[in-house]
Amino acid sequence: MRPTSMGRLAALASTALLLAGVVSAGSAQAQSAAQARYPGGLVTYSIEFSNPQEKDNNDLPEPYGRVVVKDDGLRETTLWEHPDLDINTPTVPRYPEAGFTHRFADHFISEVCAYVGEDDTGINADDVLAQGCEPFHGPGAYTIPGPDGSVTVTVYHVG
């Protein structure tokens, strides 16, 4: 028996709908993976502060502000924090100075955020090294930019 034009058209439409469903399901899975929240636990990390325009005696930044890991903005754990002490803000190009450190996050982690300024007391206005968040996708380096530099948080392990 020879298939009719209608039969071919129905088969073609059926295949197209099936493929559209597969693409849609794949897209939903990719979107869900991109928005995944990772279980908290002991976060092993280090932080580097970058200010390419730093021009004082040692050419190193004097950062102040906070670096945190968040769970959809509801809960957060501070990884690093320092107040602006004007002329007494210490030079900290890396935290910790060598190696890595740990902090316990008792919540899911969905973002790494940095809100960090750089003290330029007596020279000009303070710089902004980082202002914002990056989606968390597990261990790796997260660079959060600002108008005058950046902050890179390297997460080595969570759990």
Asked if 102 and 43 count as a contact pair (C-beta separation under 8 A), the reply is yes
In this prediction, residue 123 has a pLDDT band, given cuts at 50, 70 and 90, of low
Yes or no: say if 41 and 15 are a contact pair by the CB < 8 Å rule. Answer: no
The model's pLDDT over 6-28, given as tens digits with 9 standing for 90+, comes to 454 444 444 443 434 444 444 44
Same domain, 1 and 59: no
144 and 119 in a common domain? yes
What domain range includes position 60? 41-158
Domain count, the chain: 2
pLDDT digits (tens, 9 = 90+) for 84-122: 998 889 999 999 999 999 999 999 999 999 999 999 877
Q: Give the model's pLDDT for residue 74.
A: 84
What CATH number corresponds to the domain at position 151? 2.60.40
Q: How far is CA 62 from the centre of its chain?
A: 22
pLDDT at 125: 84
Rounded CA-CA distance 42/57 in Å is 37
DSSP H or E stretch at residue 6: helix 5-34
Each residue of 29-77: pLDDT tens digit? 444 444 567 899 999 999 999 998 887 667 789 999 999 999 987 899 9
CB of 69 within 8 A of CB of 158? no
For residues 114 and 90, state if they share a domain.
yes
- The whole-number pLDDT of residue 8 equals 47
Helix (H) or strand (E) holding 152: strand 149-158
